[in-house]
Amino acid sequence: MVKIYVDNVRFSYRSNPVLKDVTFHVDEGTILGLVGPNGSGKTTLIRCIDRILDPEGSVFLDGTAIRDMRRSEIALNIGYVPQTGAKIAAASVFEVVMMGRTPHMGWRASDEDLAIAEKAMLFLGVENLADLEYNELSGGQQQKVLIARAVAQEPKVLLLDEPTNSLDIRHQLEALSIIHRLSRETGITVIMAVHDLTVAARYADRLMMLRKGQLVAFGTPDELITTERIREVYGVESKIFRDQEAGLIVTPLRAISEATA
């Protein structure tokens, strides 16, 4: 079943086109990795899907145009984790995670809301931070708390903009494994912007390559991650290895000069 359908989406900042006629769909329970160089439009696309930005073209969730949905309805269906820690007024970690329950709550939190928030913190391994001030955490800790907040939201679609950007290697592995397990266990659809092609190949079911705001290729990691495609999209010579345990590994070698690219 198609969960998200993006149809001919275009977006410009002032007169600068950032997305150009992007069309694709993501099936339910799929993890889609958005890859491409800096400035290729990954963050803008994620914000267009969540209607933080209002693009030309259309985005559909379960066949309904997101443009026609109320903000509260979008929040019931789509969770969004920004690239860097959000600026939040003084609040404990538990209070931040509880913000994810806002679309579901009445005047006060129910026992079920509290239990779901606690489960989300356990899922992300931040339960020991519950009473600490969010703004006093490290960037990596804040990022895990924001993912926990999105999980507590119980969305049908989870949008992640560079979810491991502030995390060290161990916490990157933990967070991505959690996201992968969440998708497999709940059927949630995940769309995440990723810089590291090796990480993208390991955790994504499908990849979408963007370059200068245009969709260059869409397919499985094995189909898309080739030395020829990396040269075309990134302007980089690379070697690709396949390991039985680690899977596909991309090693950049050298940048290609504009004259030879």
- Bridge partners, 58 (sequence order): 7
> Residue 116 is encoded by which pair of tokens?
């779901």
* Exposure b/e, 74-94, CB count within 10 A at least 16 = b: bbbbbbbbbbebbebeeeebb
- 219 and 250 inside one domain: no
- Rounded to whole angstroms, the Cα distance separating 198 from 50 reads 27
Q: Give yes or no: residues 184 and 82 share one domain.
A: yes
Residue 126: which of 104, 152, 93, 156 has the closest Cα? Answer: 93
Q: Verify that 21 and 77 share a domain, yes or no.
A: yes
- Answer whether residue 140 is part of any domain: no
Domain of residue 244 covers 226-261
- Per-residue pLDDT tens, the chain, 261 aa: give them: 668 999 999 999 988 899 999 999 999 999 999 999 999 999 999 999 999 999 999 999 999 999 999 998 999 999 999 876 566 777 899 999 999 998 888 778 889 999 999 999 998 889 999 999 998 888 888 888 999 999 999 999 999 998 887 778 888 888 888 899 989 988 999 999 998 999 999 999 999 999 999 999 999 999 999 999 999 999 999 999 988 888 899 999 999 875 445
Query: Domain for residue 115, yes or no?
Result: no
* Shared-domain flag, residues 191 and 254: no
- For the record, the structure tokens of 232 come out as 């075309």
Are residue 68 and residue 162 in the same domain, yes or no? Answer: yes
Q: What phi and psi, each to the nearest 5 degrees, are found at residue 80?
A: -130, 130
Q: Report which DSSP code applies to 133.
A: B
Distance in angstroms (rounded) separating the CA atoms of residues 194 and 32? 10
For 2, the enclosing helix (H) or strand (E) is strand 2-13
Decide: 166 and 140 in contact? Cβ < 8 Å.
yes
Residues 6+ apart with CB under 8 A from 196: none
Please report where in the chains the tokens 């370059």 appear, as a residue: 211
Contact 139, 166 (CB under 8 A): yes
Does residue 252 sit within a domain? yes
- The domain that holds 182 is classified in CATH as 3.40.50.300
Q: Is residue 23 part of a domain?
A: yes
For residue 126, being part of any structural domain is answered with no
Do the beta carbons of residue 138 and residue 123 sit within 8 Å? Answer: no
Q: Do residues 195 and 256 both lie within one domain?
A: no
Strands 16-27 and 64-65: unpaired
Verify that 220 and 187 share a domain, yes or no: yes
Residue 81 lies in a domain: yes
Nearest by Cα to 126 from 152, 106, 108, 156? 152
Same domain, yes or no: 16 and 71: yes
Is residue 245 domain-shared with residue 160, that is, in the same domain?
A: no
Q: What is the pairing mode between strands 64-65 and 56-61? A: antiparallel
Token representation of residue 161: 């903009």
Contacts of 198 by beta carbon, 8 Å cutoff, 6+ apart: 246, 247, 248, 249, 250
Q: Is residue 144 one of the residues assigned to a domain?
A: no
**How many domains in the chain?**
2
- Residues 234-253 as b/e (b if ≥16 CB within 10 A, e otherwise) read bebebeeeeeeeeebebeee
Do both 75 and 9 map to the same domain? yes
CA 141 to the chain's CA centroid? 17
Q: Are residues 6 and 66 in the same domain?
A: yes
What pTM was computed for the model?
0.91
Q: Give me the phi and psi of 114, to 5 degrees please.
A: -65, -40
Q: Which residues contact 111 (CB under 8 A, 6 or more apart)?
A: none
Amino acid identity, residue 163? P
Tens-place pLDDT, residues 50-97: 999 999 999 999 999 999 999 989 999 999 998 765 667 778 999 999
In this structure, is residue 192 part of a structural domain?
A: yes
Tell whether 14 and 74 lie within a shared domain: yes
